[in-house]
Amino acid sequence: MVGIIEVAERAGVSTATVSRALNGKSHVSARAREKVLKAAQELGYVASSSAYTLATGRSKNIGVVMPYIDRWFFSAVLDGAVNALVNRGYDVTLYSLSGGQAARKRVFEDLVLRKRVDGVLTVAVKLSDSELSRLSELKKPIVGIGGPIPGARSISIDDEGAGRLATQHLISLGHTKIGLISGTPAMEMDFHQPYLRRTGYQEALLDANLDFHPAWVAEADFTTGGGYFAAKQMLGDPRSAPTAIYCASDEMGFGAIQAARDLGLRVPQDISVIAMDGHPMGEFYGLSTIDQNPHDQGAKGADMLVDILEAGDERLLENREQLTNWEIELVVRSSTARQATS
C-alpha cells in the first residue's frame, strides 16, 4: 500500500510537506501542493483516517445536527455546509432530532462520549447549558445557524426585522388590509421564528397606524399544502378578505398563490403575496420574498468551524459567545403590486 514516504519521494519534498499539503494546511506553497497532489494521484495514494486520528487526535469529521432533514430550508443549509466541508477535506456525520427529546439525548451523548467528531454545526437547535458544557469540556467547538446561542458562536438573521420588512413592502404599495400566514405553535422549535416574524408584522402595522385584524391571521406548517389551506380560508369570504398576504415561508407563499388562483383571484392585481426564505422555485412562481440564502449560511458556518479547528490555537477550541448577523435581502418579483383602486 502506498504511503506518504512514496508520495514524498515522487514529489521530491519532505514527508512533513506531504502531510501538510494533503491535510489542507495553509503554510505550503502552491507549487509544492500541486506536486504533492499530482504524485498522490499518480501513485493512487489514499490517506488513512485511522492513522490521521492517531497522529493528531482529530477525526476530520464534523457533526451536523438539525431538527429535520426532509424540509427544504434544512436541506439547503445542509447542502451548503457539506459542499464547504468536503472542499476542505472533512467528512460529515448527520444527526436528526426528529425523534424528539429521547433522540436529542442520544445524539448529544453519542457526539460527546464516543468522540466521533471534531466539532459540531447545529441548525435551528439551541443547545442547553449541559449540552454546551459537555462539548466545551472535550474542546469540541460548535457553530450554530438559525439563532443566537448563549455561550457559543452562531449565525442568525433578524427574524423580527424580516417580518417587518415584508409587511412594510406591502404597506409601501398602498395595502391596508394585510394578512399573515404564520407557523403553528408546534413549529416554534428552539428560536421561535414564527413568533418573531409575526411580531415584525404587527410592529409594521402599528407603525403605519393600520388595524391588526384577527381574521387576517392564520397558522400553517410551513408547507405548500398548509399555506394553500390557510390562504383559501382567508380569501374565501370576499367581505373580509385582505388585499395582500405575508407568508412566513416561501413554500406557504406558493400555496397562497395557488389558493388565490383557484378562487379566481389574480396575483398581484387582486391579491399581493410576499414570503420569506429564498426558495429556488420562487422565481418560477414570481414570488416576492425576503431572501436569507440558507445555502450560503450553511457554507459560512462550516468554514467558521474549520477555521477554528485549523487555526492551531487551542484557546479557540473553547466555545465562546459570538453572533454573526446574517444579511437578508428583499427580492421583488411579480407577486406584489400596488393595490388596485376602485
Cell 436569507: give the residue: 292
Per-residue confidence (pLDDT) for residue 55, from 0 to 100: 47
Per-residue confidence (pLDDT) for residue 298, from 0 to 100: 98
Measured from the Cβ of residue 331, the count of other Cβ atoms closer than 10 Å reads 14
d(Cα 265, Cα 263) in Å, to the nearest integer?
6
Phi-psi region of 264 (alpha: psi -120 to 50; beta: other; left: phi over 0): left
d(Cα 113, Cα 22) in Å, to the nearest integer?
29
Pull the grid cell for residue 91. Answer: 467528512
CA-based R_g, the chain, Å: 24
User: Tens-of-pLDDT digits for all 342 residues of the chain?
Assistant: 677 888 888 889 888 888 778 776 667 888 888 888 888 888 877 665 544 444 455 679 999 999 988 889 999 999 999 999 999 999 999 999 888 888 888 888 877 666 689 999 999 998 888 888 888 888 889 999 999 999 999 999 999 999 999 999 999 999 999 999 998 776 656 668 889 999 999 999 999 999 888 889 999 999 999 999 999 999 998 888 999 999 999 999 999 999 999 999 999 999 999 999 999 999 999 999 999 999 999 999 999 999 999 988 888 888 999 999 999 999 999 999 998 765
Q: Could you tell me which residues are beta bridge partners of residue 276?
A: 290
d(Cα 249, Cα 185) in Å, to the nearest integer?
15
Q: Could you tell me which residues are beta bridge partners of residue 123?
A: 145
Q: To 10 degrees, what angle do helices 224-236 and 250-262 make? A: 40
DSSP helix/strand/coil, 7: helix
Asked if 251 and 284 touch (Cβ cutoff 8 Å), the reply is no
The domain ranges of the chain are 4-47, 59-157+294-310, 159-291
Cβ partners under 8 Å of residue 26, min gap 6: 310
Domain 4-47: CATH architecture, name and number where available = Orthogonal Bundle (1.10)
Asked if 194 and 188 touch (Cβ cutoff 8 Å), the reply is yes
Edge-to-edge strand order for the sheet containing 288-291?
217-220, 178-183, 244-247, 272-277, 288-291, 329-331
Measured from the Cβ of residue 152, the count of other Cβ atoms closer than 10 Å reads 23
Identify the CATH assignment for 59-157+294-310 out of 3.40.50.1820, 3.40.50.2300, 1.10.1280.10, 3.30.420.40. 3.40.50.2300
Which one-letter amino acid corresponds to residue 313? D
Pull the grid cell for residue 256. Answer: 397562497
* 0.75 exceeded by pTM: yes
For 6-28, b/e burial (b = at least 16 CB within 10 A) is: bbbebbebeeebbbbbbbeeeeb
Is the domain covering 159-291 a CATH 3.40.50.2300 domain?
Answer: yes
Q: Do domains 4-47 and 59-157+294-310 have the same CATH topology?
A: no
Per-residue confidence (pLDDT) for residue 273, from 0 to 100: 98
Cell 469540556: give the residue: 137
3-state helix/strand/coil string of 85-109: HHHCCCEEEEEECCCCHHHHHHHHH
Cβ partners under 8 Å of residue 25, min gap 6: 310
Asked if 338 and 276 touch (Cβ cutoff 8 Å), the reply is no
- Residue 215, CA distances (Å) to 165, 180, 231, 236, 240 in order: 22, 10, 11, 12, 8
